[in-house]
């Protein structure tokens, strides 16, 4: 199989690329990434010399570049996206152009090239908040942030390609991921690197926002399963059932690093901050997927990785603050 991974130098994308090269000996991978602030070739350093891996720098908003990248591909996994909610609130333009227009250009290039399997990676945030219970894949989309709305737009484009062109695109909607190689703007690496930097942990509002946390290595296994065995044109929720509040996460990291709990500070909540996300994962579990990592073990490994890999995250913090 010749596989193209857009956004493969990002957090989940790079973990996916490494996992595929490690576990699927008959797959050759082309990573297509624009190398924005969130794309980092250092995240692919350990596969740089793998003869089955090729890196191509390119932007999903460049139709000609996308067409060249997917030409001859058997499968495409579309990770490339602007993904930080706070940035989408401050400057939504890049989210609209990358997450909606970029996704559409990827889908169209794949259709024209006759790619057999296309997976679009989305987010549970497209459903919006839920007080109790969990969203199933057929539930309505009611995104709260420009980021979530842009991802919902791409999901609807994927659906339209199935309906209009009979070009079925698989979609995964994932809960919060964590693990190695995640940009330090995100909650868990931000808290860990803040403590390692001697800084406080800024918790939004009362810190009672609930998220389901999935270890990234479990997540990438789910994506591969959906890509290879999922029903084309179908949406699959992915989540490990590890519901934690932001304050829970802060206290767990403080304890793991033997830091002073007074380092946890509360800051003004961000606009439109959803209180809880939760998804029903019966469909992906019916394919045979189960999370293998416990939250506590995966968090411990994540903290250890950031403690041992300052050379990876320090330049990113120096640039983004």
Q: Confidence class of residue 321 from pLDDT cuts 50, 70 and 90?
A: very low
Helix (H, G, I), strand (E, B) or coil at 243: strand
Tens-digit pLDDT profile for residues 50-72 = 999 999 999 999 999 999 999 99
Residue 320 has pLDDT above 60, yes or no: no
Over residues 99-103, mean pLDDT:
97
**37 classed as catalytic:** no
Tens-digit pLDDT profile for residues 264-297 = 999 999 998 999 999 999 999 999 999 999 999 9
Q: Is 151 in contact with 81 (CB distance < 8 Å)?
A: yes
Tens-digit pLDDT profile for residues 210-236 = 999 999 999 999 999 999 999 999 999
**46 classed as catalytic:** no
Residue 83 has pLDDT above 90, yes or no: no
Please report, to the nearest 10 degrees, the dihedral formed by the alpha carbons of residues 50, 53, 56, 59 taken in order. Answer: -130
Active-site option among 147, 236, 277, 306? 147
Active-site option among 33, 82, 125, 218? 125
- φ and ψ at 27, to 5 degrees? -110, 130
Buried b (16+ CB within 10 A) or exposed e, 57-70: ebbbbebebbbebb
Tens-digit pLDDT profile for residues 288-316 = 999 999 999 999 999 999 999 999 999 99
Look at residue 318 in the predicted model and tell me its pLDDT.
73
Over residues 129-148, mean pLDDT:
97
**116 classed as catalytic:** no
Residues 316 and 321: their CA atoms lie apart, in Å, by 8
Q: Is 30 in contact with 234 (CB distance < 8 Å)?
A: no
Active-site option among 33, 59, 124, 212? 124
Report the mean per-residue pLDDT for the chain. 96
Q: Confidence class of residue 84 from pLDDT cuts 50, 70 and 90?
A: confident
């Amino acid at each position: 199989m010749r596989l193209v991974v857009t956004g493969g130098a990002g957090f989940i994308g790079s973990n996916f690329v490494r996992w595929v090269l490690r576990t699927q000996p008959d797959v050759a991978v082309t990573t297509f990434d624009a190398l924005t602030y969130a794309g980092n070739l250092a995240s692919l350093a350990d596969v740089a010399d793998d003869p089955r891996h090729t890196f191509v720098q390119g932007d999903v908003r460049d139709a000609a570049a996308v067409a060249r990248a997917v030409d001859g591909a058997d499968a495409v996994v579309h990770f490339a996206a602007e993904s930080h909610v706070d940035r989408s609130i401050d400057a939504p333009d890049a989210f609209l152009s990358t997450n909606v227009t970029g996704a559409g250009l990827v889908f169209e290039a794949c259709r024209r090239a006759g790619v057999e399997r296309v997976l679009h990676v989305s987010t549970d945030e497209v459903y919006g908040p839920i007080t109790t219970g969990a969203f199933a894949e057929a539930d309505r989309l009611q995104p709260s942030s420009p980021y979530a709305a842009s991802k919902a737009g791409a999901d609807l484009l994927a659906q339209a390609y199935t309906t209009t062109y009979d070009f079925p695109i698989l979609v995964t909607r994932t809960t919060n991921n964590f693990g190695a190689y995640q940009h330090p703007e995100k909650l868990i690496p931000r808290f860990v690197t803040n403590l390692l930097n001697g800084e406080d942990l800024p918790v939004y509002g009362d810190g009672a926002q609930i998220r389901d946390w999935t270890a990234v290595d479990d997540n990438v296994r789910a994506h591969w399963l959906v890509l290879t065995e999922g029903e084309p044109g179908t949406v699959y929720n992915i989540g490990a059932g590890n519901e934690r509040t932001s304050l829970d996460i802060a206290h767990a990291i403080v304890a793991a690093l033997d830091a002073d709990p007074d380092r946890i500070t509360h800051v003004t909540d961000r606009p439109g901050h959803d209180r809880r996300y939760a998804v029903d994962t019966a469909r992906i579990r019916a394919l045979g997927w189960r999370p293998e990592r416990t939250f506590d073990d995966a968090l411990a490994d994540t903290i250890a990785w950031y403690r041992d890999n300052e050379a990876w995250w320090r330049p990113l913090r120096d640039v983004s603050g």
